Structure 1
Amino acid sequence: MSDSSRDTVEGAGWGTAERGAYRQLMPGRVEKLSWLDPRTLWAARNGVVASWFGDPTGRTRSRWVAARAAAGAPADKVIRRADPDRFSFMVIGDTGEGDDSQYAVVPGFLKVGQDAAFAVIASDVIYPVGSTDDYGTKFFRPYQDYPAPIYAIPGNHDWYEDLGGFMRVFCGDAPPLPPEPKPRSLSRAWWRALLWRRPRPADEQRLTEARALRSAPAQQAVQPGPYWAIDAGPIRIIGIDTGLLGTIDAEQGAWLREVSQGPRPKILITGSPLYVDGEHHPCAIEGGGTVDDIVPDPAHHYVAAIGGDIHNYQRYPVDVDGRTIQYVVSGGGGAFMHATHTIAPVSVANVTEQDFRCYPRRGDSLAFYSRLYGRRLRLRRFFTLTEVEATAVVAERLGIPPTRTQSSPVRVTRRIRLVASLLGAGRRPDRPSRIRFPVRKIYTQLFSPSSATYSPPFFKSFLRLDVTPEAVRLRCFAATGNRAQELQPPVEDEVTIPLR
């Protein structure tokens, strides 16, 4: 196994490294998606429209589920596999951008997952709007050589065309839903319908050609719907669909409570993480309660909850009455990178900074953004921080040891401190900054989406979970886009989760 970002600067992907061979997997022409392009923002408008005029996701989801039930899907939505007591599976989140950031993950994913029983995509299979026509270059082509089935849960972007593409690919080529009755004029529903983006007709020949890339019998899987459970070996994996706004409907909530019963150890896969960026987001259930009322209940025997949506890796080991539940963010499968350097010292649910893990490490995240904005603002000499400088100033601001051992002391100058402050680097609560933009949400909603780059290091990641009757070993592997990490994907985090 090669050095990781914990060990060396080279292990993090910095330096004059050789680019990996991932570009050989890419199509000849790749459309570069810009999240600042008004056309992209308009196409992805349904989340904003739902927040203004009411979210129809729950009703639409119920219609999809009813259609799948009528087609013969199991009523309990449980996929019962014949895996042995010892097996492995992969988790990769927020994959579908179709550019370098996605394809750079593929060689390492294939290498680490070559003997895994199956894989799960956790959120946002296809950007920007989940279109059926995009599945060829953003799903079937990159994973054509993955030999096992791939299951998925949709993210908010998959819902921007009412989940039609997702249902066709993952749920037995589900036919389109019939149109609903027209709403009353000038009602909220009428305004929503007026502004709503509707699914575009699919190119059937294009989809047929794309399906041929993953046509081997061992690669096939049909899901009972957008949410499901998988009984595999000694565990149950439960995937929930959090729709456009990060919530679940009452029908899905009742199902989740039902399939969570029993002594079998469980792992939740969700489109919206329950702990992220040092905050708790319990995920509301329509009609009352939250998903994170269900997960820590000792009667349900959850050992982990893994969510996508945020494009990095984070882990929060939360103590619940003497047992630990691992709450994980795994959204680094192939899109722009959400910053980690903006995360303040962690103190949530008795999880401290010493317990918390993230990738990319905060210093690498800050160095990445300093180079990016130095280049874009044409102020490279002012903004650009070396990896060593960024690591040192983050350690100073957070009051923590450097994540990598420095070969020699680093002098943190006024310029370095100012750049760190302007770029929103986290800071100890007892030392508030006088010069700091309100970037916590701005970074997530604006700065990070505009940070797409097309050369390494990308700081992408994916998970492998090795299951035995006694424990689950969870490992986060890095994908930088460099040749060294492509040949030997480094482990950035590892934890063993006891099942008994």
Structure 2
Amino acid sequence: MSDSSRDTAEGAGWGAAEPGGYKTLMPEHVEKLSWLNPKTLWAARNGTVASWFGDPTGRTRSRWVAQRAAAGARADKVIRREVPERFSFMVIGDTGEGDDSQYAVVPGFLRASRGTDFAVIASDVIYPVGSTDDYGTKFFRPYQDYRAPIYAIPGNHDWYEDLGGFMRVFCDDAPPLDPEPAPRPLTRAWWRALLWHKARPADEQRLVAARALRSQPEQRAVQPGPYWAIDAGPVRIVGIDTGLLGTIDAEQGAWLREVSRGPRPKILVTGSPLYVDGEHHPCAIEGGGTVDDIVRDPDHHYVAAIGGDIHNYQRYPVDVAGRTIQYVVAGGGGAFMHATHTIPRVSIAGVTEEDFRCYPLRGDSLAFYSKLYARRLLLRRFFPLTEAEGTAVVAERLGIKPVRSPGPDVRVTRRTRLVATLLGAGGRPDRTSRFRLPVRKLYTRLFSPSSTTYSPPFFKCFLRLDVGPEELRIRCFAATGNHAQEVDPPMEDEVRIPLSRSQDR
């Protein structure tokens, strides 16, 4: 296996590496997504509108579920797959930008996924608004050579057109919902309806041509709705839909409690990670309780909870009453990269910095963003940090031993410290913190997508899960866009989880 970013800088994709061949997979013309474009911002307004005037996601989701039930979908929403005693599947999150950063993942994904029985997309299948017309270049084309079914849970971007495109593609061509009665004038619902982005009619010929790219019988996947469970071998995989604002409705909550019962080991896949960036986000359920309450309940036997939405990899092994549950962020499947260098030194729920894993490494993340800002701000002499400088200054700020040695000749200077502070390295406040550039909240919402890079390294990732009667093995593989990592995707993290009865006590 090739070097990973934890071994060498070259394993991270730095240096004069040979670019990969992923561009040959792309369409001739690729529209570059810019969130600075007012047209894009206006189309993607529904999350903001829902936060102002109330979130209708739960009611809309219930209508979709009722429609699927009327069409004959299983009431328990459980997909039963006949697989060998030992089988494998893939998880890839936040895929659908349709540009270099998505297609750069494909060669390594296809290589690492050989022999797997199915794949799951965890959140945000299609950017920016989940349009049906975008599925050709952002779903069917990139994964046309993956010869197994692909299931999915929606992210907030898939909900920006009320989930219409998602339901058509993954739920047996579900027809549009009937319009709801007009709300009373000047109520919150009336204002919401007035401002709400509504889907345009789909180009049916375009969709037919797109579907032909994944039309083999072994690729067919029909799911009972936006949330579901898969029984495969010794495990149950439970996928939940957290909608626009990262919560679930009471109806889905009741289903989740029911489908979580029993001694079978379970893996949660969610659009909103429960542990991320050194914080706990338990995910509220309408009417009371949280998703994490259900995951932690020893009678439910969850061994892992994997979430998308944040575009990198993180893992938190949390001890829950003597059992270890692996909380994983796996949203690095194709969209712009969210920073890891802004994650403070980890100390949460008994998880320390020594237990925590992330990709990209914080030093690589800082070097990546320093080069990005150098281009955007035209400060090419001041801003760029080498990967070694980024590694050294992050280690100093967090008081940790660097995962990859920066080398004996690397000095942490005033300039490197100032750049690290401006870019929020370590999340540690100091005198210059008021001048930090927007690498977290504001940058995530507005500037990051418009600053997507179109050349390696991209720092993308995906998971392969190998399941046997006694053990679940989770591996995180990297995709940089370079040839070496396409041919032999480096493994950035690995964890083995026992599935014996002792795990379920």
User: Is TM-score (shorter-chain normalized) higher than 0.5?
Assistant: yes
Aligned to 1:262: 262
1:434 to 425, 431, 434: 431
Aligned to 1:90: 90
CA distance in 2, matches of 1:87, 1:27: 33
CA contact (8 A) 2:332 2:460 kept: yes
CA distance in 2, matches of 1:312, 1:450: 17
SS of residue matched to 1:155: coil
Letter in 2 for 1:436: S
CA distance in 2, matches of 1:182, 1:427: 46
CA distance in 1, matches of 2:103, 2:498: 34
CA distance in 2, matches of 1:3, 1:442: 34
Aligned to 1:460: 460
The CA deviation at 1:447 is: 4.3
CA RMSD of aligned residues (A): 0.9
Q: Give the TM-score, by structure 1 length.
A: 0.98
CA contact (8 A) 2:35 2:447 kept: no
CA distance in 1, matches of 2:21, 2:147: 20
Aligned to 1:45: 45
Aligned to 2:404: 404
Letter in 2 for 1:179: P
CA contact (8 A) 2:22 2:481 kept: yes
The CA deviation at 1:114 is: 1.8
CA distance in 2, matches of 1:493, 1:445: 28
The answer to whether the aligner puts 1:307 opposite 2:307 as a matched pair is yes
The CA deviation at 1:406 is: 3.2
CA contact (8 A) 1:339 1:443 kept: no
Aligned to 2:498: 498
Deviations 1:160-200 (A, max 9, x none): 00000000000000011000000001110000000001111
The answer to whether the aligner puts 1:54 opposite 2:51 as a matched pair is no
The answer to whether the aligner puts 1:167 opposite 2:167 as a matched pair is yes
Deviations 1:43-82 (A, max 9, x none): 1000000000000000000000000000000000000111
Deviations 1:136-168 (A, max 9, x none): 000000000000000000000000000000000
Deviations 1:424-472 (A, max 9, x none): 10156xxx42112465423433443333110000000000000001111
CA contact (8 A) 1:274 1:280 kept: yes
CA distance in 2, matches of 1:19, 1:188: 52
Aligned to 2:249: 249
Letter in 2 for 1:55: D
CA distance in 1, matches of 2:413, 2:406: 17
CA distance in 2, matches of 1:405, 1:254: 49
CA distance in 2, matches of 1:449, 1:425: 20
The CA deviation at 1:405 is: 2.0
CA distance in 2, matches of 1:29, 1:203: 18
The CA deviation at 1:486 is: 0.5
The CA deviation at 1:132 is: 0.3
CA distance in 1, matches of 2:372, 2:405: 25
The answer to whether the aligner puts 1:126 opposite 2:126 as a matched pair is yes
- Counterparts in 2 of 1:258-337, with a 5 A limit? 258-337=258-337
Out of 446-455 and 248-257, give the one that drifted further. Answer: 446-455
CA contact (8 A) 2:148 2:220 kept: yes
The CA deviation at 1:13 is: 0.3
CA contact (8 A) 2:36 2:447 kept: no
CA contact (8 A) 2:391 2:406 kept: no
CA contact (8 A) 1:271 1:309 kept: yes
The answer to whether the aligner puts 1:353 opposite 2:359 as a matched pair is no
CA contact (8 A) 2:362 2:394 kept: yes
Deviations 1:86-131 (A, max 9, x none): 0000000000000000000000000010210000000000000000
CA distance in 1, matches of 2:450, 2:356: 27
The CA deviation at 1:39 is: 1.1
Letter in 1 for 2:184: R
Q: Which runs of 5+ in 2 are unaligned?
A: 501-505
Aligned to 1:340: 340
CA contact (8 A) 2:382 2:415 kept: yes
The CA deviation at 1:376 is: 1.2
Aligned to 1:79: 79
The answer to whether the aligner puts 1:213 opposite 2:237 as a matched pair is no
CA distance in 2, matches of 1:246, 1:408: 45
CA distance in 1, matches of 2:65, 2:427: 46
Aligned to 1:150: 150
CA distance in 2, matches of 1:413, 1:405: 17
Letter in 2 for 1:326: Q
CA distance in 1, matches of 2:291, 2:496: 24
CA distance in 2, matches of 1:56, 1:21: 43
Aligned to 1:138: 138
Letter in 2 for 1:70: A
The answer to whether the aligner puts 1:201 opposite 2:201 as a matched pair is yes
The answer to whether the aligner puts 1:416 opposite 2:416 as a matched pair is yes
CA contact (8 A) 1:338 1:443 kept: no
CA distance in 1, matches of 2:356, 2:423: 22
Aligned to 1:186: 186
CA contact (8 A) 1:91 1:122 kept: yes
The CA deviation at 1:396 is: 0.2
Q: How many residues align?
A: 497
C-alpha distance 353-389 of structure 1, shift in aligned 2 (>3 A): same
Letter in 2 for 1:56: P
CA distance in 2, matches of 1:407, 1:314: 25
CA distance in 1, matches of 2:339, 2:32: 20
CA contact (8 A) 2:87 2:467 kept: yes
CA contact (8 A) 1:476 1:493 kept: yes
SS of residue matched to 2:97: coil
The CA deviation at 1:283 is: 0.4
Q: Give the TM-score, by structure 2 length.
A: 0.97
SS of residue matched to 1:96: coil
CA contact (8 A) 1:427 1:433 kept: no
Letter in 1 for 2:357: R
Aligned to 1:117: 117
Aligned to 1:476: 476
Aligned to 2:230: 230
SS of residue matched to 2:451: coil
SS of residue matched to 1:381: coil
